[in-house]
Amino acid sequence: MPANTTASSGSTGSAGGGSRKKKGRRARRIVIVLVLALVAGIGYGTYWSVSTVRASYPQTNGSAQLAGLDSNVEVKRDSYGIPQIYADSDSDLFRAQGFVQAQDRFWEMDVRRHMTAGRLSEMFGSGQVETDSFLRTLGWRKVAQEEYDHVLSAETKKNLQSYADGVNAYLKGRDGKDISVEYAALGLTNDYKPVKWTPVDSVAWLKAMAWDLRGNMQDEIDRSLMTSRLDAKQIEDLYPPYPYDKHKPIVSEGGISTLTGKYDPQAAPSDGVGSSTVQGATEGLTTQLGALSDTLDEIPSLLGPNGTGIGSNSWVVSGKYTTTNKPLLANDPHLAPQLPSLWYQMGLHCRSVSATCKYDTAGYTFSGMPGVIIGHNQDVAWGFTNLGADVTDLFLEKVSADGYQYDGKVKPFTTREETIKVAGGKDRHITVRETNNGPLVSDRNSELEKVGQKAPVTNAAPDRADGYGVALKWTALEPGKSMDAVFELNRAKDFTSFRAAAEHFEVPSQNLIYADTKGHIGYQAPGKIPVRKSGDGTMPSPGWSSAYGWKKDPIPFDELPYEYDPKRGYIVTANQAVVDETKYPYMLTKDWGYGTRSQRINDLIESKIKGGGKISTDDMQKMQMDNTSEIAALLVPELMKINISDKDVREAQKLLEGWDYTQESDSAAAAYFNAVWRNILKLAFGDKLPKEMRVKGECLNVPPAKSSGPVDEQDRLVRECGRRAPDSAQPDGGDRWYQVVENLMDKPDSDWWKTPANRKDKATGNREELFARAMKDARWELTAKLGKDITTWNWGRLHQLTLKNQTLGTEGPGLLQRVLNRGPWNLGGGEAAVDATGWNAAGGYEVVWVPSMRMVVNVGDWDKSRWINLTGASGHAFSAHYTDQTDKWVNGELLDWSYGTNAVAGSTTDTLTLKP
């Protein structure tokens, strides 16, 4: 028994009725399989006993000592292992939170902090050196330390320290194998031992979150890459303007007040101030930027594949239109599927809220960070979606051994030395160089050293010599107060205090929705959003001129959009435009989501209200599972008009007759349509994109870059193979591509519809011919994947979710992966549907992002709220709570969410008392 805990009349795991016994039997079976797999599959002459595996079970009953507590703390868990913590002081509350999260998820926490610090090589060896080098260059951990030392409030630092003390109390006296079976597996090849948790480990996690939600950086790179094969008009076709006429922005009321200069929800809409795209030095940046894209593909993505497709839904409806007569609030962030889920459900309760114990909140937390991120307290509820503000810019830099050029003078680099420790190998040393526009990311890749060698520039640009470097300017690389905001949100009492908290939530920039027990609803767009001196941030900028770059101050918080009790009675955020850019004086981004999901939610709410009905908790839950395909509604009528002579293709085409465009798991029509959509995108666009954007390993014979006219000789073709990971390649099939195709539907003879693009023949054809070809290709693709008999086809067999354990579930021995991972599950839903089980059309049909949790908050009657997690509370592969919520999540079910003292008592199955 570890030295810091003493158990009495306790047990590990949980106890309960028949269903609980079944879970227990299943857990024992997993333990046995795990031991056998490790013994038989890994080798190294090591024998693992059942006791080795069971050593990391968390204690959930009885009592245990936790050093540093002022008084007893109770940890009450329900039948799903979800903990509710009761304490008498803030320090006790957060100390217990750290202890409990370490019990369930320390491996996840440890991997995460090594990633954010650029120290993965210490755990996993030399294969992670390049990743660590890039992350050290960005300096997430360095900035987090600066925040902790100089920016965060004393109260926030006290809470962070209490949390760290709780984690360390759990670690004290425990070997790695006592913490998680992954450490036992890692110990077969590495002598790594977990070290103490620090407050900065928690703060650094916000940098990883900000990185994955960083906005349009990939679009900026992609537009630059496209210049090698497409002209300016073609690139414009592929990045159409946001369709304000059909997809409502979040905020449709108010503007900047001419009297106060602040954003006023009641003011008349502001006159817009347009921004023009930068030309000249950045126009035509060639495929050398593909090296940066390749590097980004290798960075571990905690939230989603390379930032692409990460979204979320949230909406709130006023009590005027609900059956409860109080607001209802829904949220389901769309993030990368992982095991365990990114989220950890928890309640943090002061037995009596007072000046010394300020919290009574519950919701979704991150393992490794104190507080609640999304949820509610006794007065207000809140939800997040990604705002998508453009907070990153790439700058071309004229560099030399002496420094970088700026306004005709050479300025010295800011440098620092970094040492990367490598498990089983020698230390690596790197020098990080920074300009006034940020770190030189081009230093971290031999290919990136060549960036800019071939980039066309104006005569005003400095001599390229050996080319230009590339620097990254990003708001998250400046110290901020986002960690303060987490605690302030948890304590918010009304919309005023909610907005005060939002002002400190600087990165990542999120859409915050709000509701309170007095019946008010609201929205706030927070974030440190830069104001550019020139241009719109859609292409890399010249770093050698002070005419570019960012102004000293970001958009003032008082001038960021918000709404409070809008007349329409509801607010929807789903990554669409925040405001109409023609009615707002600042540029937030040029790369919004295109509003397909948000408009569908708007339509569902409006149809209910206009029909005279009121919206219930069940209605909110049902909306979350809406899987209608908006692109199918556009294309299927046209597909059905095409005369198909091939009987097998015609048989597949008939699947679309009478289809209602819903994407249920058992739908053959959804399977066939999505295959047709994938092939339309490939034929019309994918084969015309540069290799840096196409799927790795897929090869085409193409004309030389920027060639024009027919290719008459085979030897003039170039063999090009794609370079990008399947889950981040283009065209990904998201709602930007919906808009691209919709804009081309009335242009049946557009060059985009001409095929084939990758042969020596002159491209010919029109839209109808391309659609016919796509239907044929889809028929034979699904024949190969699902069989010739179309009666056996269904969308779920194509569209599968596999949950993979971090690190060892993706990189470990095969048998170990099979034990640690779960699935597959056949899913309904789809890309840009409200039930956003996303897939990348360039890469295939596999699910690559999901609603990572779902909640419906019944404001004021908190115990009637509902929630679900993607996986379960536990990170232990053999726990009954590893994936015990997943089947319900797949079926669209939600669990009852206990909050009040009586409700929690009624749902409690295990109680652990932590004693000083």
Chain CA centroid to CA 633, Å = 28
CA 60/CA 909 separation, integer angstroms? 9
CA 407/CA 544 separation, integer angstroms? 6
Percent of the chain with pLDDT over 90: 69
Do 413 and 433 contact (CB within 8 A), yes or no?
A: yes
DSSP state, residue 833: S
CA 807/CA 213 separation, integer angstroms? 22
- Nearest residue to 494 via CA among 475, 477, 518: 518
pLDDT tens sequence across 82-137: 999 999 999 999 999 999 999 999 999 999 999 999 999 999 899 889 889 999 99
Say what the pLDDT of residue 516 is. Answer: 98
The partner residues of 435 in beta bridges, in order of sequence, read 438
777 C-beta neighbours (distance < 10 Å), count: 18
CA 725/CA 299 separation, integer angstroms? 12
Say what the pLDDT of residue 297 is. Answer: 61
pLDDT tens sequence across 560-573: 999 999 999 999 99
Residue 82 tokens read as: 């979800």
The partner residues of 395 in beta bridges, in order of sequence, read 471, 541
pLDDT tens sequence across 720-733: 899 898 988 999 99
Model confidence at 41, pLDDT cuts 50, 70, 90, reads very low
pLDDT tens sequence across 835-845: 999 999 999 99
Tell me: pLDDT of 210 over 60: yes
Looking at residues 402-425, what average pLDDT do you find? 94
Tell me: pLDDT of 225 over 80: yes
Average pLDDT score, the chain: 87
Say what the pLDDT of residue 399 is. Answer: 86
- Nearest residue to 691 via CA among 746, 647, 729, 744: 729
pLDDT tens sequence across 310-355: 679 999 999 999 999 999 999 999 988 999 999 999 999 999 999 9
- First vs last C-alpha separation in the chain: 17
